[in-house]
Chain A
Amino acid sequence: MLVSAGGPRRDGNPDGGLPQPRTLGYAVMGSVRRRNSTRRAPTCPGNLYPVTGQYTGNGHFSVTATYPSGTSVQPIGCADSITYVGTIAEPGCDTATGSWSNSSGLSGSFSWVQACQVPTGEANSVFAGWDDAEGQPTLAIFTQYLAPTTFDWGGRQVSETSPQPGEDTCWDSTVPALGGPKNPTLTVTGGSPIVMASQNGVTTSYKDLVGATADLVKFYRRVGKTPCHIFVYQAMQIACDTVPKPNALQTFANNQDDSIINQTTVQGVRGSVKSDFRLWGTPAPSVTLVPVMSVLLFSATLGGP
């Protein structure tokens, strides 16, 4: 019932899009007909009831369907209007429950279920800069949108997982700081899902930070591991409540992410999008020793007898 474009959101923004009136109107009409069929009249013609209402935030909504005046003679036994007050459940936004009441004084509860909306992929992914603001200048920030961008994904939960291990050419099992025998960098780091936000029905972009932390880059250089890279498989997933099964995570995009650590530069790669190469930090001591020693030798030569 909550299908169609612009599913209501649970993110507290009252500007969230309501379902298209036509689709919801059909739902309301069906309910009215069903109730009246047992209480007041054998049938209620299949007219569409125009719907008005609003999303009040935090998943709550209220809509009223009113029999269209002036279009036809209202059948006997059909209520003038019916109001639904309900709440959309997180995180999938594919179920809603609440109560209804109609102008005939009848009331009851309702439960709506729709197929979970799953993005068709990611859109407009770009490299957006380096994470200097958080003290992580070697993490590349990528921003992207859920596709289609015309759909309001607000309130939905997006997470990442690794469908298979990647490759870490920097890692060494003998150094516990690098992960010991269980290499943590072969998979995405995960964490809790990110809740999508939206404004005026338009879902905002979400960020993904790709790269080795500045401290890890520094450490790899100090122990002579660079150049090397950390490659992981990333599956982007969205949470659904009921369809196809309870609490299911649906994969909507697969990326191959790479963190490249060179002697003096770093680069992040997310899918087909690459950051620039950033000149950061100091190279391994050996690299600096050579020119320093050259200068010293040269100076010694100049100053010699």
Chain B
Amino acid sequence: MKSAIVLVLGIVSAIAAAQSSTTTLSANSAAPLGDLADQLQDMYGYVITYEAPKYVYAGDVEDVTLAVRRDLDKYPPGKAPKVVVPMAHSLTIDAVPAGHVSSAYVAKILQQLVQIEMSGTVGGRYRVEFNENEFHIVPTAIRDVDGNWIEHRSILDTPISIQKKDRSALAMITAICRALEASTRQDVGLMSVPASFLHSVTGAWGADHEPARDVLTRVLRDTGAKLSWRVEYIPSPSTYAMRIAAVQDRADSAGADKDQQNAGAAEHTSDDASAPVVPNR
């Protein structure tokens, strides 16, 4: 009997220990998936990029004109240009606290994250790509105007061409946005960027009908810095908004497991086939 009690207590304490070894991350916003990706990026020091889909379904967006605009007095009632953003919703996930984690773990937690997002009633569907200790959350499907799921390609899948020449990284990233605009006839804004640093890095960059994501990845890696991006979509005024940010190294986790670069991808393709972690090109 005594040993049984000890066993039960042991199990209880083990569960408690397991529970205390994770921290709950949550976000309630127009882009909670991107926000949680940012949080995980900050916690673990891995580059985790996020690309939003171009929402068209009314249930995926909301009109925030009255809350956002400060110039409503300059328009007749109801005539101010609309500001429409993705529908706010919340996401929550448990993850181990900041510190040493493997890339395989990050792949797993990101896969869980996109699964949670996809189980909701709002938002898109995504895949997670993994390459050289970098993770990319990429949209794969949205609901059309009638609410039916349709395949969707991220704007960064768009092939772009840019004349190769010596230029700064800042000029090249700006050129990527302009090339995307030319290819898609869609506003693509570079909203935030470590400008002084990227101004100081130069290289001979160009693109020859390559996916914008590959071009952007190449430029950011060539800078030698650990940089990540996030691409949002604003339905009105219809704009893709790109932000580039530095990722802080975490001494206890960065580059923790280069030997798992491929293992991380392979290991997590089987559990949840609907959101596979796939090696990037």
Contacts and interface: CB of A to CB of B under 8 A. Distances in A.
Given A134-B174, A176-B30, A181-B27, A213 B246 contact: no
Contacts of A182: 35, 38
Interface string A190-216: 111010000000000001110001011
Contact of B192 (A136, A216, A285): A216
A93 B174 CA distance: 35
B197 interface: yes
| Residue picked from A172, A173, A189, A219, most chain B C-beta under 10 Å | A189
A290 B73 CA distance: 12
| Interface residue range, chain B | 35 or more
Interface residues of A, number: 42
B81 A222 contact: yes
A96 interface: no
A131 B174 CA distance: 12
A148 interface: no
A181 B171 contact: no
For the complex, would chain B's binding face be called helix, strand, loop or mixed by DSSP majority?
mixed
Nearest to B178: A135
Nearest to B75: A286
A175 B71 CA distance: 16
Nearest to B167: A134
Contacts of A290: 74
A65 B6 CA distance: 76
Contacts of A219: 189, 191, 234, 237, 239, 241
Nearest to A183: B192
B31 interface: yes
Nearest to A230: B192
B251 to A, nearest CB: 10
B20 interface: no
Contacts of A287: 74
B109 interface: no
Nearest to A223: B83
Contact of A209 (B70, B178, B196, B225): B196
Interface in B182-228: 189-200, 223-227
A174 interface: yes
30 contacts: A133-B171, A136-B174, A139-B195, A174-B29, A174-B85, A175-B30, A176-B30, A177-B189, A180-B27, A180-B38, A190-B194, A190-B246, A191-B197, A191-B246, A194-B196, A194-B200, A207-B199, A215-B177, A215-B189, A216-B189, A219-B239, A222-B237, A223-B81, A223-B237, A224-B69, A224-B81, A224-B83, A284-B71, A284-B74, A290-B74
Given A219-B237, A223-B81, A290-B74, 14 more contacts: A135-B171, A135-B174, A174-B30, A177-B234, A180-B38, A189-B192, A191-B197, A192-B197, A192-B246, A194-B196, A207-B196, A213-B189, A219-B239, A224-B80
Interface of B: 27-31, 34-35, 38, 52, 64, 67-72, 74-75, 80-81, 83, 85-86, 88, 167-168, 170-171, 174-175, 177-178, 189-200, 223-227, 232, 234, 237, 239, 241, 243, 245-246
